[in-house]
Amino acid sequence: MNQTTSRQKHVNKTSKCSSSQPNLQDNSDSRPHPIHPIEMPTHTTPGKISQREKPKIVVVGDSFAKGIASELVHNLGSAFEVIGHMRPGSGMKVITELANQEITTLTKKDMVVVWGGANDIARNEANNALTHIINSVKSRKHTNVLLVSVPTRFDLLSTSCVNKEVIIYNRKLYKWMKQ
């Protein structure tokens, strides 16, 4: 049995959707994707210890975050140092680990944008995604964290089980953030 057939059977067994809904299949390979940071240079004065003068914005996410860092650089100009880390196909565990690595260097004037969860929802692991993100945010009080909700699938009906799961996930995330 080849790897694709095995993966399809696993997705079919774990899917909450009825057979009339299209199956979400994980067609991404399991190899790690390289990080492609986009950085703006910081200004330093020769002969002095390098200190960051600009607030830093770090964007971490799955494929939905693609191009967001470059858009921020374009729209915000040189007022901020912007870095983007994108991991297509990654779950919230990987995304929050990346965010946690970046957060250690940030201050109260900086911000981390976390955009993910769609891949977890597609794998019926939405509760795991919420757990990862809640634990990550709870442990980080020294910087600003912006969580982006998961968009619904435009290629499916709004009544599809996948879009219903997205709405439930976003509602739980919003409810937790209000606390």
The per-residue pLDDT for range 111-126, each reduced to its tens digit, is: 999 999 999 998 999 9
Q: What is the pTM of this model?
A: 0.67
All structural domains of the chain, each given as residue ranges with its CATH number in brackets, are 53-178 (3.40.50.1110)
Q: Once rounded to an integer, what is the mean pLDDT over residues 172-179? A: 88
| 100 band by pLDDT with thresholds 50, 70 and 90 | confident
Name the DSSP letter for residue 11: H
Rounded Cα gap, residues 56 and 99, in angstroms: 13
- Supply the mean pLDDT for the chain: 77
Q: What is the helix, strand, coil percentage profile of the chain, to 5?
A: 40, 10, 45
